[in-house]
Amino acid sequence: MSASVSGEPTDMAGDGTADAAAATFDGTSQGGWYIVFMTGLVAIMSQIDRGVLALFVQPIKRDFHLSDTQVSVLLGFAFTFFYVVGGPPISRLADRGVRRNVIAGCLAVWSVATTLCCLAQNFWGYFFARAVVGSSEAGCGPASMSMIADAVPRQKLPLAYAIYNSGFIGGGALSLIIGGLLLGLLKDVPPIHIAAIGVIYNWQLVFLFLGLPGLLIALWFRLTVPEPKRRGATKPGGYSMKEVGGFVMSQRAMHLPFIIAVLLMSFQLYGLQAWVPAFFERTYGWGPAQSGPLLGLFGLVSAVTGLFLGAHFCNVMSKRYDDAHMRVYFISQTLAVPFGIAAPLMPNPWLSLVFSSLSGICGSMASPAYSALIQLTTPNAMRSQVTALYFILANAIAGTLGPTLVALTTDFIAHNEHDLRYVMVGFRVVLGPIAAYFMYRSIAPYRDLFRKQRDEEAARTVAI
């Protein structure tokens, strides 16, 4: 494996593949946008396979006799703990090697695990499948964002990340749409008794239909997506996790308050999103076959709308402010909170969908800014690992504890599953303002770090 510290791009594949492919990436070629499209497709699959379980909270409780707290472990801890375990080694592999191969391999593994959910017969069967999905999904987001940063021009990054994140966020909506539609089609299928396995319920068949296409997409990704050359200075053998941690701590004026802000927003996202289908069933009487497609459709439209509005907002603000991306993140996430508070309190499900969508638009506007600001302030050869650090912290703490805290509050404080709506409001009321404070604290140090990184890159360009 060869590398360069002079600022010249490096063949990280070791077989000439990167050199041949990267020649097409001149900042305007369609090859770079094909990478954006394909990584977005992988993001869709990751969120479908991750999010569809939330649609089956009530069926899995009924058929396997689980409590809200047990279901929350499957929604949170079983996925996120192993996401944390898999994240560091896979992201380091992505920083050192061929990111295309890492992404394709991870997609194939979690697709198999999703398919196996069809056969699970108890809590531990689902726990194992969710653990495999979590550990393998850990590598795709950081590797994809790193590839995109090398595949499109710097000034186009917000748009590129809007396209990518439309898959990442929209996939969660599609999990509800597709899952709900499949469940409706399978509603008359009786339980299937299979010797040596057990009973397969109709809703479990949805996992089979969602998992198998991922294997085909993984093969297509591996065969058609080129590996772009890495821009900027690189380091032979890559950076160790200790060096990455040292870099983050050296820039702690920005990273520490921003990490806290991301954690608090993730608590709201993961903690509440996992219970939205159950909320609509308990509060308004909409079952998963009815609520799934509607939640997914409204979520998809609001997410895509917000992402491209956010990319445009970034471009407008970038003409005036060096800290534009952090400003956009702060403004967008803060605007999402009041709509999120109002949504569970609405007197009917349609108004709740409208307010949820408004919150979703505002929250999604922050995603392109979030993706771009991390990449623009991080050296190339540690981008996957720094991105993974944020993903891991959000998933390890918020993704694990969020759904469980909602469940524990409902089980042991509200004492009534129909009071879930008030638990959801409480999360927003408490965490939203605190998150806004730490986001605001991140703006000035981000501006300083952005200027420093920009000036260093300009100096290297002049030297070359």
Separation between Cα atoms, residue 378 and residue 263, nearest integer Å: 20
Question: For position 67, which CATH number holds?
Answer: 1.20.1250.20
Asked whether the beta carbons of 188 and 63 are under 8 A apart, the reply is: no
Residue 444 counted as domain residue: yes
Residues 82, 130: Cα–Cα separation, whole Å: 9
Residues of the chain with pLDDT under 50: 1-28
User: Which pLDDT score, from 0 to 100, does residue 317 have?
Assistant: 93
Instruction: Give me the number of domains the chain comprises.
Output: 1
Classify residue 11: in a domain, yes or no.
Answer: no
Residue linked to tokens 């689980």 = 66
115 within some domain: yes
Domain housing 57? 17-230+238-463
In a domain, 175, yes or no: yes
Are residues 52 and 105 in contact, defined by beta-carbon separation less than 8 angstroms? no
What's the confidence (pLDDT) of residue 429?
93
Tens digits of per-residue pLDDT, 254-268?
Answer: 999 999 999 999 888
34 to each of 22, 159, 220, 222, how far by Cα in Å?
13, 14, 13, 13
179 found inside a domain: yes
Q: Is residue 416 part of a domain?
A: yes
pLDDT at 10: 35
Residue 190: per-residue pLDDT? 87
Q: How far apart are CA 323 and CA 448, in angstroms?
A: 8
Cα–Cα distances (Å) from 232 to 3, 7, 99, in that order, read: 11, 5, 17
Residue 306 lies in a domain: yes
Would you report the helix, strand and coil content of the chain in percent, each value rounded to 5?
80, 0, 20
Query: Is residue 1 one of the residues assigned to a domain?
Result: no
